[in-house]
Amino acid sequence: MFQSDSFQRLMANLYIAVDAVVANRVRSLLTALGIIFGVAAVIAMLAIGNGAQQEILNQIKLVGVNNIVIKPIVEQEEEKLNEEANGKKEKKKFSPGLTVRDMHSIEEAVPGLNKLSPEIILETNAIRKGLRRSAKLVGVQPSYFEIYDFQFIEGRIFNEEQLKLGLPVCIIGAGIKSKFFPTEDPIGKYIKVGAQWLIVVGVLRERSVSTASISKLGIRDFNMDIYTPLQTVLIRYENRDLITVDALREANRKGRGMIFISGATAEDDAKKKNYHQLDRLVIQVKTTESMQPTAEIISRLLQRKHYEVIDYEIEIPELLLKQQQRTNDIFNYVLGAIAGISLLVGGIGIMNIMLASVLERIKEIGLRLSIGAKKSDVVQQFLFEAVMISGTGGVIGVVLGITLAYFVSSIAKIPTIISFSSVVLSFGVAATVGLIFGIAPARKAAQQDPIASLRYE
């Protein structure tokens, strides 16, 4: 009986609070504006932050985990400038370029390595059944597919015989399959890549690669690549480490000081600038902590083997991405602090308006107390009003925040992920702010003297 009476009093106080909020709906809405924008800011901020974090994690998967990437570059011009400054000519140093021998030297001399993956990338064309399309032929070893966590939907990886003998086989990406084998099983079929016919032995699962990732990380669209054993490229296509007749003629022509101005010769010169056997060398280390010291050891080793010629660059993409993630986290903390300040300001606004409401409703409070209402009833009424205002503001803020997140995603092309926890957190904070900042006005209302309140003008 006592519990039933308490419940009825509680519901009666709730009803009075609802009636008061509805009767002053405009003022209640204005009071809740701080909560609305604070909650919306929290949800939008967390959505943008989660989206950015997910994009960085996807990029880390694309570049691999704990990878050091060595790329060949053209020889630096520092030596030539020094020659002009000193007024004398020094013999130009020779570098063999980035080769398979460098890979073996690194594998033997550097401890703590997990896998090494050399790559030779050739711009070529793929032809089948009258369909021709530009494509990239990538000479790799099986470690390449392990480092980048490629999955096969058909076929298998290269076997030992194909790798050692450089047999004409290939593994194609999902995009190549859809272009050249849209309605048939490609395994065992031929596709002409450049001047060679290659047998398809495997098909890779499709990998989603955004345009932003391609431009930022310098990676290719893996779905449109054709992979063949490294030895196949060196034997059947191109080995830039070999001294060819064309190379000797070029060296002889330059030695005689002959100059050709024709467009064809200029194009040939541009092609012959790349003397590196490998176009990329990816080295996976066992631990993240050893990546930087390992990169320094590799740099010193290559500098010695290339005779002090800096014709390579060493990158650690994962560390760059983690630094970017750290920057995003700091940015999210700043946004979170701003959103928290908005909620705090909203709570102070609720307290101020509720205190003003107490002064406006002194007669109402005195009347309730004089006809038998307890001080706890008045406290409950004003607490209910404060929580209702903040709760309603929280609901509107959640809707506004979700809308804002989708708006930012569509306009600015920024990925956003709205999590259920962020919605619950922001709404819970809004309700808590209303409860905390509603206590002072509620207690002030309950402390009113009924007789003085009825006489108040």
Alpha-helical runs (H) found in 233-290: 245-255, 263-272
Q: What is the mean pLDDT of the chain?
A: 77
Is the separation of the CB atoms in 226 and 136 below 8 Å?
yes
Confidence of residue 1 (pLDDT cuts 50, 70, 90): very low
Q: What is the per-residue pLDDT for 130? A: 86
In this structure, of 80-84, 238-242, 338-342, 351-355, the range with the lowest mean pLDDT score is 80-84
Q: Select the more confidently predicted residue: 132 or 267.
A: 132
Using alpha carbons, list the distances in angstroms from residue 248 to 13, 139, 243, 265.
98, 26, 7, 15
In whole angstroms, give the CA distance from residue 115 to residue 101.
Answer: 16
Query: Hey, which of 4-18, 100-114, 256-270 has the most confident mean pLDDT?
Result: 100-114
Q: What is the per-residue pLDDT for 167? A: 93
Q: Select the more confidently predicted residue: 248 or 405.
A: 405
Q: What is the per-residue pLDDT for 74? A: 66
Written as six digits, the tokens of 57 are 């994690």
Query: What is the rounded average pLDDT of the residues 418-433?
Result: 80
Query: b vs e for 282-313, b when ≥16 Cβ sit within 10 Å of the residue's Cβ?
Result: bbbbeeeebbeebbeebbeebeebbeebebbe
In this structure, of 129-143, 169-183, 313-327, the range with the lowest mean pLDDT score is 313-327
Q: What is the per-residue pLDDT for 60? A: 63
Per residue in 328-383, pLDDT (tens digit) is 677 667 767 776 777 777 777 777 777 777 766 666 767 777 777 777 777 787 78
Per residue in 88-106, pLDDT (tens digit) is 555 567 788 888 999 999 9
In whole angstroms, give the CA distance from residue 280 to residue 271.
Answer: 17
Q: Select the more confidently predicted residue: 247 or 107.
A: 107
For the chain, helix (H) and strand (E) counts, in that order, are 18, 10
pLDDT exceeds cutoff 60 at 267: no
Q: What is the per-residue pLDDT for 162? A: 93
- Full DSSP string of 282-340: EEEES-GGGHHHHHHHHHHHHHHHTTT---EEEE-HHHHHHHHHHHHHHHHHHHHHHHH
Among residues 188, 185, 222, the alpha carbon closest in space to that of 206 is found at: 222
Per residue in 187-223, pLDDT (tens digit) is 999 999 999 999 999 999 987 765 555 555 556 678 8
> Which residues, in sequence order, are CB contacts of 175 under 8 Å at separation 6+?
206, 221, 223, 224
Q: What is the per-residue pLDDT for 411? A: 81
Confidence of residue 226 (pLDDT cuts 50, 70, 90): very high
Per residue in 14-71, pLDDT (tens digit) is 787 787 777 777 777 777 887 888 888 888 888 887 777 777 666 665 666 678 888 8
Is the separation of the CB atoms in 191 and 180 below 8 Å?
yes
Q: What is the per-residue pLDDT for 451? A: 60
| Burial grade of 124 (CB within 10 A; 0-12, 13-18, 19 or more) | middle
Q: Which residues on adjacent β-strands are paired with residue 198?
A: 191
Query: b vs e for 433-443, b when ≥16 Cβ sit within 10 Å of the residue's Cβ?
Result: bbbebbeebbe
Please tell me whether residue 132 adopts helix, strand or coil conformation. Answer: strand
CA R_g for the chain: 35
Q: What is the per-residue pLDDT for 79? A: 47
As a whole-number percent, the residues of the chain with pLDDT over 90 amount to 20
Q: What is the per-residue pLDDT for 449? A: 65
Q: What is the per-residue pLDDT for 233? A: 93
Domain boundaries, the chain: 2-59+327-455, 65-322
Confidence of residue 457 (pLDDT cuts 50, 70, 90): low
Kindly state the DSSP code that residue 386 receives in the 8-state scheme: H
Q: Which residues on adjacent β-strands are paired with residue 200?
A: 170
Among residues 120, 76, 144, 125, the alpha carbon closest in space to that of 240 is found at: 120
Q: How many Cβ atoms from other residues are within 10 Å of residue 250's Cβ?
A: 15
Confidence of residue 404 (pLDDT cuts 50, 70, 90): confident
As a whole-number percent, the residues of the chain with pLDDT over 70 amount to 74
Stated pTM of the model: 0.59
Confidence of residue 257 (pLDDT cuts 50, 70, 90): very low
Q: What is the per-residue pLDDT for 49? A: 76
Using alpha carbons, list the distances in angstroms from residue 386 to 209, 265, 344, 391, 393.
49, 82, 14, 8, 11
